[in-house]
Copies of this chain bind each other. A is one copy, B any other.
Amino acid sequence: MAKELKDLTPRSKDYSQWYLDLVIKANLAENSAVRGCMVIKPYGYAIWEKMQRQLDDMFKETGHENAYFPLFIPKSFLSKEADHVEGFAKECAVVTHYRLKNDPEGNGIIVDPEAKLEEELIIRPTSETIIWSTYRNWIQSYRDLPILINQWANVVRWEMRTRLFLRTTEFLWQEGHTAHATEAEALEETRKMLDVYAEFAETYMAMPVIKGVKSESERFAGSVDTYTIEALMQDGKALQSGTSHFLGQNFAKAFDVMFSDKDGERKYVWATSWGVSTRLVGALIMAHSDDNGLVLPPLLAPYQVVIVPIYRNEEQLNQINEKVAGIIKKLKALGISVKYDNSDNRKPGWKFSEYELKGVPVRLAMGGRDLENDTIEIARRDTLTKETLPQEGIEEHIKKLLEEMQQNIYKKAFDYRASATRNVDSYEEFKVEIEKGGFLMCHWDGTNETEELIKNETKATIRCIPLEGDKTPGKCMVTGKPSKQRVVFARAY
């Protein structure tokens, strides 16, 4: 029965199709009537809400406040930072008019040609320009610094090839924008937020990441250095999961944002920006799920436990309802979220399959024999194993089990990544190995040319220059020139 309901393409057959099937069938998201834009359905949005809440708490713990800046960016703002315009002005949504009217010739409604904007407005692809034009008025003295602001918002980048959650024309994200008196402080902030992202990915998403710096060609347009966390998906492709940019004084200079320092001198302000998006929902799906459906780490599951009654008649259902009410109360007292599905329009087998598809970490089932024996069946989603246990103390058992599952899901992803990460020392070997996927740790001479050549020949990119781990120098696998340390190559989403 499970098979018919789910009908997911197996990962081994077509990973991309498996992903798409899963997103659709688990009711996470779907394509909308607007090209490249998705509808995030309630179950998918609930995962995003769990992520948001946790990240927001972490941002606030590190001293940040939320604010909100306009959706629109005047076209001229984009031109002010030279690299930034190259990166972002190209594919974007442009508002040119502010009114529609009835077509005098009777063809429905048309754009009113008289309502043309003097200056076109761009839907924000990112908000550095509008925010730094605002900070200019907020910053006069060192006393006004630092500014530590985050924004939760929608942004638009006119992508030609889109994929639900991973790359969409409109997406939801948070963008932090901070202003500092010194370079050292801005650098510290950049690294601090990278650490927050890494902690979130590993502790909450159960997804191991490599922290590193981007090569010049992969930098955010307008940044001096882009820090990144890179994760490995089950098909061996990398996914950039969060970035933290040290922007130097680029935006301060572009928007003329200066402050009077303690020494009385006028100086340009130092900047950072950092963001993660609904792409993380895609990462979460791809990192852990299997051919039966989603596998959600308990800390981000919309509900951690589902309970399904198995009954022959109304009387038996009533008895089960009563028992279950007691269990739910105890679970909630331990802070465990739980859904009781005693709806009568679906059979238990259908429900089992549905909640497996939706990745609910723990499933409890109670039937007639359980009533007699004071037992309950407990199934865990990550290992697909089940056992029958006494009802007494089941809540404490579940609490421990959820913690164990969170660790187990992380460990599985960690072990997979370990097995798919290897040192490669010759370019010939590299060309063979890259076909198998995974992270290839290689020496590189640090030039754009070599990076470009490798990319063109193998579709592999430098994901990052890792901050931690092996720092032994060596020789570039392509040119033989000196290399400071191994860097991470992979094909990427």
User: In whole Å, how far is A386's beta carbon from the nearest beta carbon of chain B?
Assistant: 29
Residues of B within 8 A of A38 (CB): 70
CB contacts under 8 Å to B, within A130-161, are 130, 133-134, 143, 149, 153-154, 156, 158
Whether A66 and B37, one on each chain, are in contact in the complex, defined by CB atoms closer than 8 angstroms, is no
Whether A67 and B94, one on each chain, are in contact in the complex, defined by CB atoms closer than 8 angstroms, is no
CA distance A77 to B96 in the complex (A): 19
Whether A34 and B72, one on each chain, are in contact in the complex, defined by CB atoms closer than 8 angstroms, is yes
Whether A170 and B39, one on each chain, are in contact in the complex, defined by CB atoms closer than 8 angstroms, is no
Residues of B within 8 A of A68 (CB): 39-40, 45, 172
Residue picked from A49, A67, A97, most chain B C-beta under 10 Å: A67
Number of chain copies forming the complex: 2
Residues of B within 8 A of A95 (CB): 93-96, 123
The contact size tier of chain A is: 35 or more
User: In whole Å, how far is A30's beta carbon from the nearest beta carbon of chain B?
Assistant: 8
Nearest residue (CB) in B for A147 is B42
CA distance A94 to B110 in the complex (A): 10
Given contact pairs A72-B37, A345-B143, A111 touches B99 in the complex (Cβ within 8 A): no
Residues of B within 8 A of A98 (CB): 91-94, 158
User: In whole Å, how far is A262's beta carbon from the nearest beta carbon of chain B?
Assistant: 12
Which residue of the partner chain, among B42, B143, B154, contacts A67 with CB atoms under 8 Å? B42
Residues of B within 8 A of A170 (CB): 70-72
CA distance A5 to B68 in the complex (A): 26
Whether B109 and A99, one on each chain, are in contact in the complex, defined by CB atoms closer than 8 angstroms, is no
**Binary B-proximity of A394-424 (CB < 8 A = 1, otherwise 0):** 0000000000000000000000000000000
Whether B158 and A99, one on each chain, are in contact in the complex, defined by CB atoms closer than 8 angstroms, is yes
CB contacts under 8 Å to B, within A26-64, are 32-34, 37-42, 45-46, 49
Inter-chain pairs besides A32-B70, A90-B99, A93-B98, 4 sampled, C-beta below 8 Å: A45-B66, A90-B101, A93-B97, A153-B154
| A–B Cβ pairs within 8 angstroms, 9 of them | A33-B133, A40-B67, A49-B66, A72-B93, A85-B109, A90-B99, A92-B99, A93-B97, A94-B97
